[in-house]
Structure 1
Amino acid sequence: MKSYKTRHQLFLPKEMNRRLEHLATSSGRARSEVLVEALHAWFNLRQAKNDEAIGIRLTRIKRNTDWMRRNQGPLRRCWHRWSCTNSSPVPWNPVKKVAQAAGAKLFAQLIDETDDGFGGNAAPATDDPTTRKPRSLQ
């Protein structure tokens, strides 16, 4: 059974034509066979590059997902701590300044804890129950 082939007209520079002639005569094959083999290799190379590009993209997506999983804990604790600190009632009397100072201290601890979480550092030991509670969730 004869396979159907399409004829293509190709214009090659003199040097490339000379190399094609030499390769065809030295291997005992027709020029069209050599050209088919060269095109086949080129198409396979292009496909391999596309597959490699997809692999690189998938690796980047996996790396970003791993980063999100690793850092969602400190972000979640930061949000809970911030919402608890800001939703606590502040008295309308002279004790207000003391409450604001305590809130500022808690906020500074929150920033330090978040920085430690992102940096991968171990949480420092503390007896403060407001700090111990979120760090125990790690």
Structure 2
Amino acid sequence: MRLCIYIVTLLLSLPVSAVIETYEFSRPELEARYHRLVDELRCPKCQNQTIADSNAPISEDLRRRLYEELEAGLTDEEIIDGMVDRYGEFVRYNPASDGATRWLWLAPWIFLGIGGVVWAAVTSGRGKVNATSNEHAKDIAELLQEKSK
């Protein structure tokens, strides 16, 4: 019975570990931008969470920096560009479609096309090899027949 009580207590305490930060925004639209941006930026340490979901100290710093930059009047693009300059393109959940990321998205399709061409070349060559081997088999059969006579 005690084990059940411990397990229930543990499960009920999980929401306590959630990220709770309160910032006083000067305008409601800044708060809306803040919530949108914390869901767009990835935690550099956790790598699979937004800075809104992460409890890592670096996420806390990024949220505080985001708040300060919004209050300072920076645009969303300036804030994201600053984060990308400091932490790299990885900090964005939706990376910009520039040269490097475009190649990352296109590479599988390019390799699939190359594989298709190679497969077609190999399978079209098999028919010729089989025809040649059939001719050799006939020649061998004729030679064996002549020898057996």
TM-score by length of 1: 0.39
TM-score by length of 2: 0.37
